[in-house]
Structure 1
């Protein structure tokens, strides 16, 4: 209810289907069973959630049934088809999924209507074969949901899984440019994406959203590649010529630069959220602590060392913040043992919890505990020790 786009979409769909049904009945145009009512729960399931999709479908079907001569039959068939559509389409990321859903909806229509006819008719020769033709046409029209999803996404400001899958293709312009100009950051982003996606699967968060957000969270580093250690080569560190405040500002700017790049390349708002929140309102600790060590007894200008934020406000952005910090810190471990990796993960995530970064997002202590165990497992696998191959004795 807080999002105007979501509310507008719900009302538009309900009103459109009610008006269309009324016009077809009033003017005796074809048959209402040609109308793909199952498209309503599919669209809402993709953009919102299953519960909203089911309730909207029920309301629409009940209103439309008022105009019909046989409303009970209509309600029974449409509700069954709607439920099958919702449960067969958990996450739309491929065109083949929609085709499978259309087949299942046709079969549901046919099965439920056939059962209804067996109750009301005594003679199988009196079955209404024409209705099954209408159901087949209904399934064909249901396939038009795919192009319609693209139009609704742009019109109402949603981000579907199909778009996220397209954006996560590393051959698209922005990610390819990133792999060429900041290869170290690109590799870091790939590792973070793997960590975050695995954690999202375990706690039931939106996996594809986290994976895509992780790939883009550091795109701002393309503006000043050499100022970030993962892209430095030959031991040259440009920070040596800057004060701690200046260095902090260059590092902090990768968030604002990232948002500008995202705006320039028309990335969805959902991806921009990962760019702005992956450091939250945290500090550039290396430069902040270094400044304090050099100026004992003095207090620095906190804002000059603090990221613009905001702090994470969803489970997905919280997962990315944890994965980003853990992956970056893991590269500085002197040795990779089970104990050192476990201590590192606990230390970093516990400090983030203590500093209050997750107060504004609906993540639980149980989720955080699960995420920790996922990170430990994955990092042990990434930094596993290899056996040394023996030399052939001559």
Structure 2
């Protein structure tokens, strides 16, 4: 079959008429010498004689089996190869490429000749449709077709060529539907190429859009292992026909990566898993449509996994998504509700049960790959945990300070879109090192008690600074996650306990000071959460020393402390903006005003006056 096209001769006439007119009116053409104009005119006529097609028509014919078409002139139609025609783009390139060496190609390009090149080969829809119908009528529709329930061959019958063709077709269709089609070398190579390209796309996504995750080998290993495990499980299931693939809970990929990384990465990884798995399953189109819809529902319904009910709710929505997508596909493809297979819903329900059990995988993955989930953060922030109870008993002032810092940090994190749960938990543990020497910190001292009296300033500074190192040791001893230990290490950064540093300088004028004795080990904050922690810790501690609490004094305190931290470069490694810092200041001001608001004085009850007795 070859489609029909006609020549629209009016296109060439109009284009050449415009060209001749512009030779006198358009400066781009009129400025050219006559030999340039003659070359352009002859080239345009030659192009129109060969024919110019729409690029879409050209590609369609070129991709056909014959790569040819029929050009109709009047009642005659001539078969022509599509390669003898041009598109607007190829015609213009041909005109430029054929420019004589004696002419300047740049002048030809500046003449804007492409606006005179238009399609003059037009698709003849009516003639093509008639030819298509005649072609189809010549093909027997019954060859190789078998009706439902029709007997193909009986026992003892001789297999002729037609029966063999039907049986061979049945074998091929059965293998395709079961996903066990025999593969030759090129098919295997094609599948390997697709696997490499899809994983390459995933690595490219991490490199350009999640560079922090790309540099974290444990996180990349976790995601690749998760995707590979489900693809391998799909391959084994399909090859050995162990069970229906819809029993496999692909949504777990989305849920786990959403819990530990983020939504976009979870959806991208799920797409990679689904596409790779579809190469091995029967009915891949239906599989892809259903699984992509379920992956999207998983991302939408599980913003964070901090409580068990969130997973249960998401699992129910996933079950509903599976069921509705299956019903919709059957209705779309079959047009008959009776074609729905009730067994599929049993598979969906088993899938639902498996997703519920994914909650137990969270702890295992945390320990294996160094993640921390919302579930663990809530458990760690329970003030009845032994370590926090010990802090409240040994250093009650520090414990109250940690609670206030936690509240300030959470409010600031919510405001700028940081992880509020992480900073809440980190703030509760950031000063656990003070349990080693609680009396040396002002919040734990009674009136008139000062253990620093009589100690050299260097020794006092060493005790204060060591609460960071002691806190890290306690955290490691109690197996606190690395993410919580980061708050302990960074909440002072590489700053100094300025009280003792300045006191030493005042007591030793003219002497050179060893600043390493008065500097915290660091490092400086490197995330939004640790940066907020450093600000909240300094502001909360300093706010206790204000002589009076009003909006102006609190505002001045917040501005001076945070501005000095910014000026000293403590937030250079943290991905935090000046807009974020301004928003954090505003939150701190509001919270501190609420904490230190003026309370009314309660009146005392006046005693009734006794009346003197009358004489």
TM alignment of 1:1-394, pairs within 5 A:
1-394=214-607
- SS of match in other structure, 1:332: coil
Q: Is the 8 A contact 2:315 2:352 kept in 1?
A: yes
- 1:357-388 Cα shifts (integer Å, max 9, x gaps): 00111000000000000000000000011111
Q: Is the 8 A contact 2:330 2:336 kept in 1?
A: no
Q: Give the distance between the partners of 2:447 and 2:532, measured in 1 at CA.
A: 33
Q: Give the distance between the partners of 1:112 and 1:127, measured in 2 at CA.
A: 12
TM-score by length of 1: 0.99
- Number of the residue aligned with 2:195: none
Q: Give the distance between the partners of 1:110 and 1:62, measured in 2 at CA.
A: 21
Moved more, 212-221 or 103-112: 103-112
CA RMSD of aligned residues (A): 0.8
How far has the Cα of 1:69 moved from its partner? 2.3
- SS of match in other structure, 1:143: helix
Q: Give the distance between the partners of 2:337 and 2:218, measured in 1 at CA.
A: 49
Equivalent residues, number: 394
- 1:248-277 Cα shifts (integer Å, max 9, x gaps): 000000000000000100000000000000
Moved more, 114-123 or 247-256: 114-123
TM-score by length of 2: 0.64
Gaps of 5+ in 2: 1-213, 608-615
Q: Is the 8 A contact 2:330 2:339 kept in 1?
A: no
How far has the Cα of 1:326 moved from its partner? 0.2
Runs of at least 4 residues off by over 3 Å: none
How far has the Cα of 1:158 moved from its partner? 1.0
- 1:34-71 Cα shifts (integer Å, max 9, x gaps): 00000001001111111111111000100000012211
Q: Is the 8 A contact 2:245 2:281 kept in 1?
A: no
How far has the Cα of 1:243 moved from its partner? 0.5
How far has the Cα of 1:10 moved from its partner? 1.1
- SS of match in other structure, 1:39: helix
- SS of match in other structure, 2:215: coil
- SS of match in other structure, 1:87: helix
- 1:211-270 Cα shifts (integer Å, max 9, x gaps): 000000000000001100000114110101210000000000000000000010000000
How far has the Cα of 1:161 moved from its partner? 1.2
Query: Structure 1 or 2: larger helix share?
Result: 1
